[in-house]
Structure 1
Amino acid sequence: MTTYISEIDVSLNDAEEQNLRKRGFKQLPGNLNKGAGENCIYLWYKEGPTAITKIQVTFNDGMTAGLNNAGYKKINKDLNAGAGCSSVYLWSYQGSGEFDTPIVEIDVTTDANNEAAKFGPGWERMACDLNRKAGGAWIHIWVKRENPNYICDITATDFYESDTEMFENHYIRVDEDTNRGAGGSDIFIWYRQTTDPKRALNDLEVSISDKEAREYQQQHYTKVNVNLNDGTRGNQVYLWYKKKGSSIPIQTIALLLTKALVDKYRKAGLTVIEKSLNVGNDGHIEYLCVYQ
């Protein structure tokens, strides 16, 4: 019988570790609080016949309502416990249908310098650093699916009221605010996946000026009509995509929040669009990366 990742949980102390082990969970190596707090926090998983198909992260209250309404299950254990900063929680969903492919492996990286090479074997990196605003190591969860997946739809939102509809329509939220540190609206990129490479997007670009926007329009890119820099003093920033830009389908995307890893990501085969989504303001550097 085929088994999948069917449950995930988190331990915050030795007693919880023992309890999860007795219940048949397996522990992933890698302290989710590495370098940030006193607590040793670990991710656990259990395998079974019913698959988790999506995992999301929240780091503020606004991000939670849509997940609750869409039937996601919250793991009510703060991944930043003991670090003295904003709370970070995991959520999971067991879906079915063309946009929900079972997760068969899950992993954690705790060293940003070694994470880029992991994109090659079919892994997807979750956007949110689990040590978000806590300092310490950059911690990311990774998932691998039963079959290769490709991005077939991409959009963005600048208000939380649409989250329920997005989740119910099987979109995955890229759980990092494109306005991080810049003020303005809370803005998130979303995408939907398919196992059919013929339906996939083949090209993504970012415009940070009117001139670039005109050029992409002339090249027949489709514009995502949400300014990723809305409400700040910065440039207007837009996402553009094509479904026939090249013969290579896009497998996954990532947000890179440091210049220091650009070369490592490129050497690993990712296209790094070196235009910060926070250009023109004092916010965090954010580069969109594409893996094909």
Structure 2
Amino acid sequence: MASKYITEIAISTTREMDQQLHDQDYDKINVNLNLGTSSTTRVYIWYKKGNGKPITRVQFSFTAEMKDVLKKAGFTELPENLNPGTQGDVIQLWYSSGASPKYDIPIEDLFLTTNEQEEAHQFKLGWERLPCNLNRSNSGDFITLWLKRKSKTYICDVAAATSFQQHIDLSKEGYIRLDEDLSRGSGGKPIFLWYRQSTTVGGGITEMNACINREQDSILVERGFTVVNVNLNEGTCGQPVYVWFKKDGSLPIKALTVTSNPDVTGPYDEAGLILIDRNLNAGNSGMPLYLWYGK
């Protein structure tokens, strides 16, 4: 009997590659990743379900340092640029078949969205959003990849990293990186937020918040929150920004994502997601970025 889980992912950028992958029994996600750009290259994601090790993590790179981290963490690199023929960032897809039964949950399906209404609907269906815009830094459509896992998952831990050695350590500990630089455009050092998933309901994160001044700090401490002890504005002229989380025994959160797209607010609200209404680039010239979570 065929496996229910995805074991291989591939990228096509030519009709010849399309035919080769089709002949090898890959399934195509029929969304051109260059949608909305002036590029004539059509780029598609393909996947295959087989009897090998199931893929449990998918990440993207858009800098040389991110590539280096994923290589050292043992991820498989797909060499194709997902953004060819545009002025956007060089984006590559990487995947891993982690073996930790506690944190590595097999992926059984992939989906691409091209607008905010689609995104909100996917949240409602329990899909996991990878926040890297696959048209990052160009004028094309805002395209994001989504994962469907074998089991319902909950966010059990969050962390932030300012050094790429920390990235390697967190990846090896089962954390998944939100692939958007939280200091984007600010001139500060790259900072990324990470989360870890579990299929266990108990002990998960039940609420999240962020603060941009000391008065907010004390209020969150009184409410039982714990700080992620990394200033997300480190190295910038902006005010200190910290993310906080709470574990109180109630139903844990299932979704955590970051977005730079202001158009998601209405659809995300309607889908029941909760906005942490603090710009993670407060007080600097960087791109406004916001965290959302959902139960």
Q: Structure 2 length normalisation: TM-score?
A: 0.96
Q: Output the CA distance in 2 between the equivalents of 1:261 and 1:91.
A: 26
Q: Is 2:148 aligned against 1:147? A: no
Q: Output the CA distance in 1 between the equivalents of 2:235 and 2:225.
A: 25
Check the 8 A contact 2:116/2:267 in 1, yes or no: no
- Residue of structure 1 equivalent to 2:232: 228
- Residue of structure 2 equivalent to 1:5: 6
- Residue of structure 1 equivalent to 2:19: 18
Q: Output the CA distance in 2 between the equivalents of 1:173 and 1:258.
A: 19
Q: Kindly report which structure 2 residues correspond to 1:105-124, keeping only aligned pairs within 5 A, or say none.
A: 105-124=109-128
Q: Kindly report which structure 2 residues correspond to 1:139-178, keeping only aligned pairs within 5 A, or say none.
A: 139-178=143-182
C-alpha displacement of 1:11: 0.6
Q: What whole-Å deviation, never above 9, does each CA across 1:13-60 have from its counterpart, x for those lacking one?
A: 111111111111111011111112221110000001221000000000
Q: Secondary structure at the match of 1:119?
A: helix
Check the 8 A contact 1:32/1:110 in 2, yes or no: no
- Residue of structure 2 equivalent to 1:284: 287
- Residue of structure 1 equivalent to 2:55: 52
Q: Secondary structure at the match of 2:152?
A: coil
Check the 8 A contact 2:88/2:135 in 1, yes or no: no
- Residue of structure 1 equivalent to 2:89: 86
- Residue of structure 2 equivalent to 1:265: 268
C-alpha displacement of 1:3: 2.3
Q: Secondary structure at the match of 1:10?
A: strand
Check the 8 A contact 1:65/1:164 in 2, yes or no: no
- Residue of structure 2 equivalent to 1:40: 42
Check the 8 A contact 1:131/1:139 in 2, yes or no: yes
Check the 8 A contact 1:150/1:196 in 2, yes or no: yes
Check the 8 A contact 2:87/2:137 in 1, yes or no: no
C-alpha displacement of 1:86: 2.0
C-alpha displacement of 1:280: 0.9
C-alpha displacement of 1:258: 2.4
Q: Is 2:74 aligned against 1:71? A: yes
C-alpha displacement of 1:213: 1.3
Q: Is 2:276 aligned against 1:249? A: no
Q: Kindly report which structure 2 residues correspond to 1:123-134, keeping only aligned pairs within 5 A, or say none.
A: 123-134=127-138
Check the 8 A contact 2:207/2:247 in 1, yes or no: yes
Check the 8 A contact 2:161/2:230 in 1, yes or no: yes
Check the 8 A contact 1:253/1:288 in 2, yes or no: yes
- Residue of structure 2 equivalent to 1:237: 241
Residue type at the aligned position of 1:15? E
Q: Is 2:218 aligned against 1:214? A: yes
Q: Secondary structure at the match of 1:185?
A: coil
Of all paired residues, the percent bearing the same amino acid is 36
Q: Output the CA distance in 2 between the equivalents of 1:111 and 1:208.
A: 30
CA RMSD of aligned residues (A): 1.1
Check the 8 A contact 1:152/1:200 in 2, yes or no: yes
- In the alignment, structure 2 segments of 5+ residues that lack a partner are none
Q: How many residues align?
A: 291
Q: What whole-Å deviation, never above 9, does each CA across 1:119-138 have from its counterpart, x for those lacking one?
A: 01110010100000011100
Q: What whole-Å deviation, never above 9, does each CA across 1:148-203 have from its counterpart, x for those lacking one?
A: 01111101001112221111111100000001111101000001110001121101
Residue type at the aligned position of 2:267? K
Q: Output the CA distance in 2 between the equivalents of 1:138 and 1:209.
A: 32
Q: Secondary structure at the match of 2:187?
A: coil
Q: Output the CA distance in 2 between the equivalents of 1:163 and 1:32.
A: 27
Deviates most, 253-262 or 201-210: 253-262
- Residue of structure 2 equivalent to 1:181: 185
C-alpha displacement of 1:208: 1.2
Q: Output the CA distance in 1 between the equivalents of 2:55 and 2:118.
A: 26
